[in-house]
Chain A
């Protein structure tokens, strides 16, 4: 749109973007680099090229077990957060409750509380009231921190939908339940889907709550990586980290297909 930007500025912009990319992404590239090293030790640039650490990860019961637990928790979180957050977003969007704004703030508030404080509070409260923590407890607390994403993405698509659709459906004889199911929910689907993938990503990657709420049989993948890093770091950590990065990139693109990433910014 804007033409006649001076050449030196264009060049400066390109350099600026490249440097920013370098700072943002170098740690991730480094991880991937380390993961294909032949060396026993974590080293960058890698010595030689091999996939042996990937082999090791895929045959390690510790990693596979932790991955399986992470997956179970993440799936639970995805289902909980999508259903609960989607319903809440619809309620907030309708603005019929006197405290709609307060409600919106309440659902977004887990974002601004330091997770470490939430984790301690949750551990103290939950074990005092309900006894030892379980994967279910962990899933609930992950759901709490994933809710704001689902609420936001769903609100974003609802904000763009035609406000007269529900009224139109009423004039066509649709009852309350029919309107919700045939008119409102289909409108929400892109937002719900994007929110679901966010929720999965958050739960699968989350480390702090998992660290606090872990039990002897409840070690998620990030906690496993953390432990490995702490006690016997080797390039297998890099390999499993690389797999997680790949998963994240995949999820980012799926979310983009669902909703368009830049829509969050403009919503």
Chain B
């Protein structure tokens, strides 16, 4: 059953159209990520679900009840803000109790129980009487999470909650979010611009671009079968090269503007002018052999790996290799790639 149903949501700020008719269903207990670059409308969409933003057209349903005109305080939701929005004058326990108090859920004792349980969930039970100011960023983040789950809302909305944490803490927090989601089974909508975060956390990823849904699917689908140039560039930051499809001895081939060709899989149906999407991590480089040749422009040492910036048919091309593969600048190298890993996208 759909827990949240968005139908043809449109939103304009003055003359600027931010969302162009978005329809989306989120199943009960599902973890859905809204992924996109800044300005794509993902936060606006989340705020529309929360009721903090009105819609220009379209409707919002939560558990089958239309809530389009309902103010946020009357929707049974919880939202975690990027800045955490902890009340600085209240201690941790009071912050977590706040939604219970405002919604009048339970008596004092029951509330205290729930606050305690929520704080235990995020492992902050010993910080109950601290002020938010006395906590680290990661701890504040956990308080915000505890406050969001304490009232068991129908929908949990997360607005880039991990973006203010450093890399290490972010990884810990991702694991924790997955575990809490599994344990509580809350319907969750998660907004992020970080594709790795979206892929690792969600049941389903919704890729937004310029106020439209570019593609939606499971993380595996999104990663392995990007439907558009934007999707393949945004997810896994693939190289996009213009090419034409020509017939070769062993099936279709991509022909680049300098006349070099690249073998494609035999079932490739797309014809005409296309973009060839090549993932950096799928490319391998060698000094000799058959295949398109590219020129080494720069090598960037990344520790575990090397990134080469190459030039193929005048286009820049990035490739990730093991850190012991070494070429010198200006050297000509041969590219090879499993034809099944090449995505051909109509241009």
Is A–B contact present in the complex under a CB 8 A cutoff? yes
Residues of A within 8 A of B (CB): 161-162, 164-165, 167-175, 178, 182-183, 186-187, 189
Contact of A170 among B72, B90, B151 (CB under 8 A): B72
Which 8 pairs from chain A and chain B are nearest by CB?
A168-B85, A172-B99, A173-B103, A171-B79, A173-B102, A170-B72, A186-B89, A174-B102
CB neighbours (8 Å) of B77 from chain A are 171
* CB contacts between A and B, total, < 8 Å: 63
User: Beyond A169-B87, A170-B51: 9 further Cβ-contacts under 8 Å?
Assistant: A167-B85, A168-B81, A168-B85, A170-B71, A171-B52, A172-B73, A174-B98, A174-B102, A186-B87
CB neighbours (8 Å) of B147 from chain A are 172
Contact of B83 among A162, A169, A171 (CB under 8 A): A162
Contact of B99 among A173, A187, A189 (CB under 8 A): A173
Contact of A162 among B51, B78, B79, B85 (CB under 8 A): B85
State the Cβ distance, A258 to closest chain B Cβ, in Å. 14
CB closest residue in chain B, given A176: B73
A169 touches B52 (CB 8 A): no
Does B50 make an interface contact (CB < 8 A)? yes
Q: Interface SS of chain A: helix, strand, loop or mixed?
A: helix
B72 touches A171 (CB 8 A): yes
Q: Tell me the chain B residues, 71-125 only, with Cβ under 8 Å from chain A.
A: 71-74, 77-79, 81, 83, 85, 87-90, 98-99, 102-103
CB neighbours (8 Å) of B50 from chain A are 171
* Residues A164 and B87 in contact in the complex (CB < 8 Å), given A170-B71, A172-B99, A173-B73: no
B98 touches A172 (CB 8 A): yes
CB neighbours (8 Å) of B103 from chain A are 172-173
CB neighbours (8 Å) of B98 from chain A are 169, 172, 174, 182
A172 touches B83 (CB 8 A): no
Contact of B87 among A165, A178, A189 (CB under 8 A): A165
A187 touches B83 (CB 8 A): no
A168 to B87, CA, bound (A): 9
A180 to B189, CA, bound (A): 29
State the Cβ distance, B307 to closest chain A Cβ, in Å. 38
CB neighbours (8 Å) of A186 from chain B are 87, 89-90
A252 to B44, CA, bound (A): 46
CB closest residue in chain A, given B159: A164
A172 touches B102 (CB 8 A): yes
B89 touches A187 (CB 8 A): yes
CB closest residue in chain B, given A189: B89
CB closest residue in chain A, given B72: A170
Can you name 24 A-B residue pairings with CB atoms under 8 Å? A161-B88, A162-B83, A164-B85, A167-B52, A167-B85, A168-B81, A169-B87, A169-B98, A171-B72, A171-B73, A171-B77, A171-B78, A171-B79, A172-B73, A172-B102, A173-B73, A173-B74, A173-B103, A173-B151, A178-B102, A186-B87, A186-B89, A187-B88, A189-B89
